[in-house]
């Protein structure tokens, strides 16, 4: 299809309808024949000044084969960009109504690119331009209401940033360090990056055994970020599509397009570093493909398997700015805090006796133990959770984990069992992953 043929047809059509009237021929916007726009633009709609849109009439054009693209909008599939010819009608108070002849087609067989032309009466270009603009807006709606959280890969059920900071039971110094890091980056860091003409992108990793509270900490950080007017982009690999690079790419686009500072959360980043996409993920970490959001983007990534984040990432400067090791329960003080939290109103001082058994366990273990103890008591119609119930609960959980060890030894650890499954290189208790905290 050559545009000359479109123009020629349009002029002839014009002459047959409005002989002798002066017109201009323009390159028009392809959005006017987009089905989304046509669905939304109702006859009677006001344009600029006193002008009004009076509807569209498809007309036969021998040089155009009508055909539409389609795509999803929300959950629905819809027709979108379309080739076709139309007469668009307009009227204006105290003025004669007028028409525009419009034709939109593929310019070239090899390029899937629509081209549109229009014949507009002289002096009516303003009205036509207003119409084009409205069609374009219908096709590409501007974000009217700003959302705080964008979830990529999954639904809102995957991530709920309502966790209170105090409910995350971890060493205070660790929590403060993390919160201060985020705050310093957004308040001071971003300006420094910009002065150095660098994309303000900082990368933090939370590394720790399963169940130590990394996801919880991310949610609490997200809540903190939102309270400071930042946006959260959360990438989940746990939906059907798994950990695909395409998700990271979509997340980076969202980060770049956001007109706000962004906290970008990528859970279990190791999963993205296993397949063929590893090089591309590394490019992102290296800054080759980092998002350029002038308001700043802070990546908070998590991993259960720091050994997958191999030395090239951990040691190469610039790939990760900081690694936070999220520990299991290290001492009785921490154990007591966790146990009191999860026993809540069922807490009795005699429960202190189980503390030694909680050392080296992740927080999720304590939560399970407390829950199970309550269930045991309820099962026996007892209102109080005695030490015996709690002990029985802890021991049965430990037994489960230990028996899991027999057949799970060589499998990737999942959930609580992870503690005794294929464990990462251990060097010291507080830093079981063999790399230095920076
Ligand atoms: N440090 C912690 N403080 C309080 N609760 C915890 C902590 N760690 C784990 N939990 C409990 O265990 C659950 C699972 O923890 P999660 O954050 O999913 O661990 P991870 O992401 O490290 O595998 C949490 O929802 C919470 O109920
Ligand atoms: Mg998690």
Residues 194 and 126 reside in one and the same domain: no
Atom of ligand 1 nearest to the CA of 206: 22
* Of 425, 401, 362, nearest in space to 209 by CA: 362
Query: What pLDDT does residue 288 have?
Result: 72
Question: Phi/psi at 161 (nearest 5 deg)?
Answer: -80, 60
User: For the purposes of burial, counting CB atoms within 10 Å of the CB of 319, is it exposed (0-12), middle (13-18) or buried (19 or more)?
Assistant: middle
Alpha-carbon distance of 190 to 215, in angstroms, equals 25
Beta carbon of 211 within 6 Å of any ligand 1 atom:
yes
CA 185 to chain CA mean position, Å: 21
Query: What pLDDT does residue 64 have?
Result: 92
Count of domains for the chain: 3
pTM: 0.64
266-298 in b/e burial notation, b at 16+ Cβ within 10 A?
bbbbbbbbeeebeeebbebbeeeebbebebbbb
Residue 437 lies in a domain: no
Residue 436 lies in a domain: no
Atom of ligand 1 nearest to the CA of 216: 17
Q: How far is the CA of 420 from the centre of ligand 1 (A)?
A: 17
Residues 195 and 81 reside in one and the same domain: no
DSSP per residue, 373-420: HHHHHHHTT-SS--HHHHHHHHHHHHHHHHHHHHHHTTSPP-GGGGGG
Q: CA angle 381-386-387, nearest 5°?
A: 145
- Cβ neighbours of residue 414 closer than 8 Å, sequence gap 6 or more: 210, 421
Largest interatomic CA distance in the chain: 100
Residues 415 and 314 reside in one and the same domain: no
Atom of ligand 1 nearest to the CA of 341: 4
Query: Is the separation of the CB atoms in 34 and 135 below 8 Å?
Result: yes
Residues 166 and 314 reside in one and the same domain: yes
Residues 31 and 68 reside in one and the same domain: yes
Residue 188 lies in a domain: yes
Alpha-carbon distance of 272 to 351, in angstroms, equals 42
Q: How far is the CA of 210 from the centre of ligand 2 (A)?
A: 7
Residues 339 and 302 reside in one and the same domain: no
Q: What residue numbers bound the domain in which 244 lies?
A: 160-325
Shortest-distance ligand to the CA of residue 210: 1
Q: How far is the CA of 363 from the centre of ligand 1 (A)?
A: 5
3-state percent breakdown (helix, strand, coil) of the chain, nearest 5: 40, 20, 35
* Of 320, 314, 319, 365, nearest in space to 339 by CA: 365
Alpha-carbon distance of 214 to 217, in angstroms, equals 5
Residue 428 lies in a domain: no
Q: Which parts of the chain register pLDDT below 70?
A: 1, 73-75, 108-112, 140-146, 154-157, 306-318, 405-438
Beta carbon of 404 within 6 Å of any ligand 1 atom:
no
């Amino acid at each position: 299809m050559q545009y000359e043929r479109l123009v020629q047809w349009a002029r002839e059509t014009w002459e047959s309808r409005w002989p002798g009237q002066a017109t201009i021929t323009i390159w028009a916007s392809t959005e006017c024949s987009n089905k989304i726009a046509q669905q939304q633009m109702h006859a009677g709609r006001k344009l600029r000044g006193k002008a009004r849109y009076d509807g569209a009439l498809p007309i036969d054009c021998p040089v155009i084969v009508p055909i539409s693209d389609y795509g999803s909008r929300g959950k629905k599939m819809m027709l979108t960009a379309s080739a076709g010819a139309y007469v668009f009608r307009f009227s204006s108070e105290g003025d004669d109504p007028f028409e525009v002849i419009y034709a939109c087609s593929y310019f070239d067989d090899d390029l899937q690119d629509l081209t549109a032309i229009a014949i507009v009466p002289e002096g009516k270009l303003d009205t036509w331009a207003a119409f084009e603009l409205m069609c374009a807006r219908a096709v590409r709606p501007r974000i009217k209401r700003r959302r705080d959280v964008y979830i990529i890969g999954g639904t809102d059920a995957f991530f709920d940033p309502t966790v209170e900071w105090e409910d995350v039971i971890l060493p205070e110094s660790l929590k403060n360090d993390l919160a201060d890091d985020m705050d310093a980056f957004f308040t001071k860091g971003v300006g420094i990056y910009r002065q150095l003409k660098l994309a303000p992108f900082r990368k933090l990793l939370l590394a720790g055994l399963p169940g130590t509270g990394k996801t919880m900490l991310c949610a609490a950080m997200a809540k903190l970020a939102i309270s400071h007017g930042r946006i959260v982009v959360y990438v989940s690999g746990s939906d059907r599509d798994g950990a695909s690079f395409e998700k990271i790419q979509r997340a980076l686009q969202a980060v770049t397009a956001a007109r706000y500072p962004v906290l970008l959360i990528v859970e279990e980043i190791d999963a993205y570093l296993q397949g063929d996409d590893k090089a591309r993920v590394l490019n992102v970490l290296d800054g080759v493909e980092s998002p350029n959001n002038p308001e700043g983007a802070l990546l908070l990534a998590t991993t259960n398997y720091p050994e997958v984040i191999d030395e090239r990432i951990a040691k190469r400067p610039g790939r990760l700015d900081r690694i936070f090791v999220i520990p299991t329960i290290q001492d009785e003080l921490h154990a007591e805090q966790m146990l009191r939290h999860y026993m809540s109103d069922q807490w009795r001082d005699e429960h202190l006796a189980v503390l030694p058994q909680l050392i080296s366990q992740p927080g999720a273990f304590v939560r399970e133990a407390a829950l199970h103890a309550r269930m045991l008591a309820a099962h026996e119609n007892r209102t109080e959770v005695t030490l015996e119930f709690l002990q029985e609960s802890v021991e049965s959980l430990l037994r489960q984990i230990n028996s899991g060890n027999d057949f799970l030894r060589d499998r990737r650890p999942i959930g609580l069992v992870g503690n005794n499954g294929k464990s990462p290189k251990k060097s010291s208790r507080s830093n079981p992953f063999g790399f230095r905290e920076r």
